[in-house]
Every structure is written in structure tokens, then in C-alpha cells.
Amino acid sequence: MSAPTNQSGAHGGPAAQNPATDARSARAPRGALREPALIVLEDGFVLRGSAYAATGRTVGEIVFSTGMTGYQETLTDPSYHRQIVVMTAPHVGNTGVNDEDPESSRIWVAGYVVRDAARRASSWRSVRELEDELADQGVVGICDVDTRALTRHLRERGVMRAGIFSGDALPAGAASMGEQAVEVLLDVVRESPHMAGADLAREVSTEEAYVVDPTGEHAGQEPVATVVAVDLGIKSRTPEQLAARGVRVHVVPQSTSLSAVLALEPDGVFFSNGPGDPGAATHEVELLRGVLDAKLPFFGICFGNQLLGRALGYGTYKLEYGHRGVNQPVLDRATGRVEITAHNHGFAVDAPIGEASVAPFDGGRYGRVEVSHVGLNDNVVEGLRALDIPAFSVQYHPEAAAGPHDAEHLFDRFVALMRERSTTTTTEGEAR
């Protein structure tokens, strides 16, 4: 694989400072010497804890992740851009950090909230301490807080803006929860941008296109298919999954034009996961409609699922608290099989779950569409399948490195769809 070092999809390169973070010192002291820290939610909910990783201040949308493993993949997932992540697992950091598990070249979370921070890593794969990695990349965190109470609050009130404050970012009296000091911090949080309406894919996308060639038993051979993957916040394991199946993957920036995509003569097009509001992604939706008009096989995941929904004419809406974690049950309506899946999304597609419906865009231009997958916790749309054009998508992550791997077969489905179209195109050409 050849890739620039500043990509979201590459493993190397320098860390970039999060614009929502003002990290004022290298790292928080550990153990009994930790300085005080506050986490402040926009509705006035405040918890006192201890400084963790970098000290200073950070603001963002606060969300919770229910995964008990794979925190390194979570931290380096570009979909968490501008979000403060609360870990519901109580003990975090015991497996440390290694150089094999990152999903991109940097940590993307705006802030990190843990209950019990590990004193030291104990995994044989660890090469660095998690707290050191967070501090080195300027990520402001907080530990020693009741993450259960915080998660229950978000479950009741919904996700919202929040801030973590420590060190020089704490005004006088804040450490003792003084009313005036807390009001100052509340003003900072309430002046921060909302996630609704945020167009963020351009902030995490690769700046330059790169190619991932077939690997494993397919290495050095002609690819079974060529795919253009539009990087909206792509994780490194996505092109790896395709490459392992003999596919050559051209990863291209979010701003790529339809003519540039078609010039690569792809057998299929893929839209990745990513951050932000799908309602603000007007360029991506227009690009996708061009792909659908060209009858190219399409596969989208997470943000790509939401964009397919909008391209077809369905709406999207913000979930109350979203789905984040590696233990979300999803029903495949075609097979009746329940898959345990990895999620990271705060928006969802608004499409009818019953019978197939005609896609609303342009008087039904794209034909019939069915909801292929449904979340069993709350009946949210988790997948779409077009019945008259070669396109499908899922809201979850079949590439999830930390697991579960129930949905990896979807990459096989995409390859089969491309091969089917190639065979059909060849047969039609011979008939002429």
C-alpha cells in the first residue's frame, strides 16, 4: 500500500491538534498527585474528577461507547472527530497502545472520559502507555468520574455538547464546584458548535489519493475488481478487507469529482464511514447520485449508508443518543439471522421498514428500495438495498477490527455484485 503520511487511512504521520482542544501542558500527573478536573454538560450537569492525559480544555459532543475492548480502534476512528467519548467499561488502558491496531494516523476524539485509568499496561503487544499516547497527541481527558451516572444521564437526556477542563483551564473556584466558576465553563460549552448541520468529512479525508493493491493469496496477481473508495473518514481495515479479496482499491478524497471517479474505470464504488451530519454533505450526495446513474455497483457503510438514503430521497435524523460500541444486535430481514455488530453513528435514515418502497428522489428515478437490516434495540434502520439498481449499504461496521466479525461477509457480497455486473455487461456486449 502506498499512502501519504497524513491520511486518515494510513498508520504513520504526525498527530494534528484537535481544533476544539486547548492542551496547555504535556500530560496530567498520575496516581495520587493528579490535579482536579471537571466535566461540564450544556444542561448544567457537572462531575468532578481527576486530570487524565493532557491538561487544558476541550469541547465537543459527548457520547458513550459500550465496547469493552478495542479502545485503540475507537480513539483512531475518524468518525469520532469533534466528539468527547465516555467509556462505559470501567477499567481502560490495561492493554496499552501498539502500532498494529490504529485505524488511522492519529487520535481523533476531542476528549476522553474513563472511570479507572490503568496504572500501567500489561499486554505483551503494548509498546506505549495509553495515557502517554493521548497526552502526546494533545487529547484532554478526565478519570475518576462515575461514568455509569454520566452514561445514564445521556441515556435520559440525549447526547449534547460538553467540555473537559483541567489545569490552567480551571478558573478560580472551579475545583470546588463554585457556582460562578461553573457558570463560566458552562458559557464555554454553550458557545461551542452543534453536531447537527456540521459538514466534517472534508476535515478528516485524505488529502491525496492512494492505492491499496491485492494482498495475501492475491498479491502480485491481476485484481478481481477495481474499487474507488471515497474517504469520508475511512478506517484502514476497510481497504484491507477488500484487498484481501483480490480487489485493487483507489482511496480518493472526499472532494473528488464524478469525472475523476469514472476516469479510474472502477467496477464498483464504496463510501466509507465518517463524522458529521449527512444533511450537510451535499457534494457527497450529488457524487453518489452520479454513481447510481452510471449503474456502478455501490456499497456504503455507516455515513455511506446515510448518504445512500439521502441520494435515494429519504430523510435522515439525529438519534437521541446514538449507537456506539461493539455489541449491537441487528436483524438481517432477508435471512432472519441476528448479527452482533459494531456501531458508531448519531444519525439514521428515515425509510419505511415494512414493504419495499419507491425511492422518493426525482419521481422514483432509482426504483424500489427495501430496508435490509433493522436494529433490535430500537428498530432503527441499519441497512438499505436497492432492488432495481446495484446498490446496498449498512449502518454498522463490517470491517470492525476489534470485533465482532459477524458481518464481514458483506465484503464478499460487494465483490459478487461487481462480478455479476461485469458478467452481465460482457454478455450484453457480445449480444450486440
Q: Do residues 219 and 112 both lie within one domain?
A: no
Q: Kindly state whether residue 62 falls inside one of the protein's structural domains.
A: yes
CA distance 366 to 274: 24
Number of separate domains in the chain:
2
Q: Dump pLDDT digits (tens) for 369-402.
A: 999 999 999 999 999 999 999 999 999 988 877 6
Question: What pLDDT score was predicted for residue 28?
Answer: 61
138 lies in the same domain as 218: no
Angstrom distance (rounded) from CA 382 to CA 329:
10
The distance between the two most distant Cα atoms of the chain, rounded to a whole number of Å, is: 81
The interaxial angle of helices 303-311 and 282-293, nearest 10 deg, is: 70
Q: Are residues 158 and 232 in the same domain?
A: no
Quick one: pLDDT at residue 29?
59
Please, which residues have CB within 8 angstroms of residue 20's CB and are 6 or more apart in sequence? Answer: 58, 59, 60, 82, 110, 192
Question: Of 190, 224, 256, at which residue does a domain stop?
Answer: 190
Q: Is residue 241 part of a domain?
A: yes
What does the mean pLDDT of the chain come to? 91
Tell me the pLDDT tens digit for each residue of 14-43: 334 454 566 544 566 555 589 999 999 999
- Asked whether residue 42 falls in the same domain as residue 149, the answer is yes
The predicted structure's pLDDT at residue 406: 82
Q: Give the separation between CA 252 and CA 210, rounded to whole angstroms.
A: 7
Last residue of a domain, one of 168, 190, 212: 190
Same domain as 85, residue 66: yes
pLDDT for 22: 66
Same domain for 151 and 287? Answer: no
List the binding residues for L-glutamine: 79, 274, 276, 303, 306, 344, 346-347
Cα 415-416-417 angle, rounded to 5 deg: 90
Residues forming the active site: 302, 397, 399
Cell triple for 390: 446495484
* Domain assignment present for 351: yes
Same domain, 179 and 229: no
Question: Which residues lie closer than 8 Å to 150 by C-beta, 6 or more apart?
Answer: 39, 45, 47, 64, 86, 113
* Burial class (CB within 10 angstroms; exposed 0-12, middle 13-18, buried 19+) of 5: exposed
- pLDDT tens digits, 305-317: 999 999 999 999 9
Shortest CA distance to 243 belongs to which of 1, 17, 11?
1
Q: Is residue 320 part of a domain?
A: yes
Region 311-334 average pLDDT: 93
| pLDDT digit string, tens, across residues 99-146 | 998 899 999 999 999 999 999 999 999 999 999 999 999 999 999 999
- pLDDT tens digits for 356-377? 999 999 999 999 999 999 999 9
- 318 and 363 share one domain: yes
Annotated binding residues: 79, 274, 276, 303, 306, 344, 346-347
pTM of the model: 0.90
Q: CA-to-CA distance for 10 and 150, rounded, in angstroms?
A: 33
pLDDT in tens, 232-241: 999 999 999 9
Helix, strand and coil percent figures for the chain, each rounded to 5? 25, 30, 45
Distance CA 169, CA 141 (A): 13
Same domain, 369 and 412: yes
Name residue, grid cell 466528539.
83
CATH classification of the domain holding 165: 3.50.30.20
Q: H-helix or E-strand containing 249? A: strand 247-252
Q: Which of 145, 161, 190 is the C-terminal boundary of a domain?
A: 190
pLDDT of residue 125: 94
Q: Are residues 346 and 409 in the same domain?
A: yes
Region 253-268 average pLDDT: 98
**Are residues 332 and 274 part of one domain?**
yes
Q: Is residue 5 part of a domain?
A: no
- Whether residue 271 lies inside any domain: the answer is yes
Give the domain range for residue 371.
Answer: 201-431
Tell me the CATH number at 237: 3.40.50.880
Chain length of the chain: 432
DSSP annotation of 188 reads: H
The four Cα atoms 198, 204, 206, 212 give a dihedral, to 10 degrees, of -110
